[in-house]
Structures are given as C-alpha cells and as structure tokens.
Chains A and B, each alone.
Chain A
Amino acid sequence: MTLLAFLLATVGAARAGAAELAPVAHLHVGLVPEELGKGTTIEFGFTITGAGGGVPPPLTRMELRYPDHVGIVTSGLGIASCKQILLEEEGVIGCPSRSLMGYGEATGEAVLDGEVLEESGQTAIFMAPLANEQINLEFYVNGETPLEDQLIFPGVLTTASPPYGGDLVITVPLLPTFREGPDIALARLHSTIGPLGVTYYERVHREFVPYRPNGIILPQSCPRGGFPFAVSFAFANGTNTTSHDYVRCPDGHARHEAHGRVSGRQRGRGSARFAWAGARAVSRDCCDGCVCR
C-alpha cells in the first residue's frame, strides 16, 4: 500500500468513525398564532441524543435558521438591549423588559460515575447592544437543580442563504459539572422567540405602561413547502449534526404546501412550559419616581 492510499484509508476510516459518533438531533417548530401577515411567536425545541442513544457530547455551537421574509428585526421585539454584565450581576431582573425576546427551558446531561446526571434550567433570550455592525443576543440559562448556576452565551443574528432569512448563531462554552468533572451536554431545549407571554413596558409621561410587542410578522404568502427551519450543532468531539422542520402553511394556503416532508405543528397558546413570564424582567424599566400600572 502506498503512503497516499494509506492516508486516504486512514482519513476515510476517521470520517466513518466520526459519522458513527455523530449525535442525532430532532427539531420541532411551531408558530403561535400562524396567520399570514400578522405577528407570531416562534416556538422551537429540540432534543439531542448520543450516537448510541445515550448522553450526547457537549455542544460548542448552535445555529438556528429561520425562514426568509420573516420579520424578526421589525417585530418590535428586543428594542432595548441588555448588557452581559447586567445579566451577570443582576440576572434577568437587571434587564429592560423590552430587551427580552423569548424564554424557555433547557436540560443538560452529564455522565458521572456511570450515572446520567440531569441539570435543568430556565432560559431567556435578550437583545444585546449592537456591536461590530451586528445584531447581538444574549442567551441566558438559570441553572436550578442540582447545580445552581447562571450561564450566559453570546449569540449573533447573521444572514443566511435561501430559503432561510437569518441565522441565530450561539457559541456555547464547555460547562463542567464541577472542577475537573465531565462537561454538561445540552440534551433538550424548548424556547420561544416572540411576544407570547412577554410584556413590555414603555414610559408614557411619568408612568410605565405595559404593552405586548407586535411579534414576528409573517409574510403575506406562505412559501411552497411551508416555513422552513433548521438547526445545526457542532460538538466538542468534532462532530456535527443538522435537523430540519417545516411549519405547514395555514389553512387556505394549501396550494403552497409541498409534497415532501412536512412536520410542523402548532401548539397551544400559552403553554405552561413557557410560564416563566417575561414580566420578571421589568424592574429596570420601573425606575424611581415612576409608577408601573
């Protein structure tokens, strides 16, 4: 065997090995409500399992791509910003209500002495200050049990190639369970991006008046095949995986529906899963001398 053949065989074997070890992810997305031309909330969730069905490797990067012509920037969401240092020092209470873009919950897993340790926590997505001519976000995780810790991951909203209109990229640092312990792997996440359950406050004269932001405006027409979403993951062991989902066109727009795989769904409004109210993040608005209605 020549050296070249040996190298090719080695690389091929390594790739095959990596493919075998790649975790499996399942994305599911819903739009609440799904009315063309109206504001909506994107509800998304995913599960990640290891190649053999066990604990996946730790996550290092996540990209959530959303459909073209969907107005996230014009949604009225995230029209204030929250600095990372505020989140670190004061938690969500330190952020302006109008910087909250969505919330949910996450579950991480780690194998410790042969047993699977689960860590769950509430999550929130905040608009961060514009920097480097980019739309920045902060992804906040409030760990509850058994490890109480607050984690903040930076994110950025970038352009994406069609059929996607944008890409929410979140970089995830390695999170050890404890010093020299195994890293936590993200196993499940459910979150919203939108006004569902979110209340904003704006100052009118000397009062803070609550209102609900418009929401992510859907285009007037539904794309063929439904609204496409995709999530890509990069893991600490060098593997990658991607999962797609489509939200079916609403009734009356069936002519646009594709013949391919359509697995979107619409969940009930105000799911208890997302009961972590954005109203918790209003104290920054209600400053001294002002009255919150």
Chain B
Amino acid sequence: MGKSETKTANFRKGQATGPGSKRAVMRGLSVVGPFLGVCLVVYLTLAQTSDAGVREHGRAHAASSIAVTDTAHMTLAHNGGEYITEEGQAHGTIPGHVRALLIVGPVVRAKFTIYANGGTIRGEGSGRPKGRTEEPSFQGAMSVSQGTGRYKGAHGRGSFYGQLNLRSYKMYVSTSGTLYY
C-alpha cells in the first residue's frame, strides 16, 4: 500500500513598506491621501475576494492522491442473464464491502461500488476475455467517477484484472490506480 499526499499552501500577499521620514510621509499623504484612500478600499475589497479565492482554491486542491491497490474475492448475488451481480470484500488500500454489476458479453463491462469506511466509491471498467474458457480473465482500464462521504468528489483512473468462473460464478478482481479525493 502506498500513499502520497499533496496539499497546496495558502499564499498571502506580502505588504510592501517604503523608507522615508514622518514629515515626508505626512506631506505625501496630504498629496496622495485621497488616492490612497481609494486604493485602500480597492485593496481591501480585492484582499477579501482574493482570500476567499485562495481558501476555495486551497480546499479544491487539498485533495489527497492515493495510490490504490485492492483485491476482492466475490460471489454471485444475482444472475439476471447478461447482467450478473457479484458481491464480496475488498482488501487493500481501501477495504470494504464491494458490489459489482457485470455485463458479461463479448466484452465484459463492470460497474462497481466500494462501501468503505466513511464513504463509498463508484466506478466502472471494461475488458475483453482471454485465458481459460471455464474461467476467463479480463483486464482493462477502469475509472472512478463518484464518491460519497469522505470520498465525496472522488475520481481517478487505473487498471483492473478479473477472473470469473463461469460454473460457480466466483470472481477474483484486482485493481490498481490513483484516486483523488
């Protein structure tokens, strides 16, 4: 299991100070006072907006990127013809109960949900069969497009390998990829 977190820092604009005597400053103020007043209002307005933007920006990029490697042994929950539902327990980076809807045709398509601690992760993938006829394997690309709870806004990409026994409908799945949330 590997985990690397990246967080953006909140940068604040520095305040510039200039040299000069108090009198000179007062004289300057009398000349540029009104201008500075306007500038101060503009600055404060901008600063407020900027701070809000930085906070929002910071929140958006405070997401973790996690290298995920999970495996699951699953069994048949429902056989609906071309659609079969498999359930099991995922182990690895994000453990939890996993439920997958498979469309098993010339191409195997899978939509899965991992009910992990604190939230759910949803994604899908597809692959073409190969290997043994009785227990074909399929591998391909997968993507995570949804999440809830602590995984709200989760997204990511990776690959998966699956093996489905067409007699017992037992399935083994292995996934790896990067998840952002």
A residues near B (Cβ < 8 Å) are 37, 68-74, 76, 78-81, 98-99, 127, 129-131, 133-135, 157-159, 165-166, 202, 214, 216-220
Contacts and interface: CB of A to CB of B under 8 A. Distances in A.
Given A79-B166, A135-B106, A71 B130 contact: no
B128 A134 contact: yes
Contacts of A214: 79
Nearest to B165: A79
A158 B166 contact: no
Contacts of B104: 71, 73-74
Contacts of B83: 69, 71, 219
The 10 tightest CB contacts between A and B, nearest first, are A133-B128, A71-B81, A217-B81, A81-B133, A71-B82, A79-B134, A79-B166, A73-B104, A219-B81, A159-B106
24 contacts: A69-B82, A69-B83, A71-B80, A71-B83, A71-B104, A73-B104, A74-B82, A74-B84, A74-B104, A74-B169, A79-B166, A79-B167, A80-B133, A99-B133, A129-B133, A130-B130, A130-B131, A131-B130, A133-B129, A134-B106, A134-B128, A134-B129, A159-B106, A219-B82
A71 B166 contact: no
A159 B105 contact: yes
Contacts of B79: 71, 74, 214, 217
Contacts of A80: 133-134
Contacts of B167: 76, 79, 202
A129 B136 CA distance: 10
Given A165-B82, A217-B79, A73 B105 contact: yes
B42 interface: no
Contact of A220 (B80, B107, B130): B80
Given A71-B84, A73-B129, A202-B167, 8 more contacts: A71-B81, A74-B82, A74-B166, A79-B134, A80-B133, A130-B131, A134-B128, A134-B129
Interface in B160-181: 166-167, 169
A56 B15 CA distance: 91
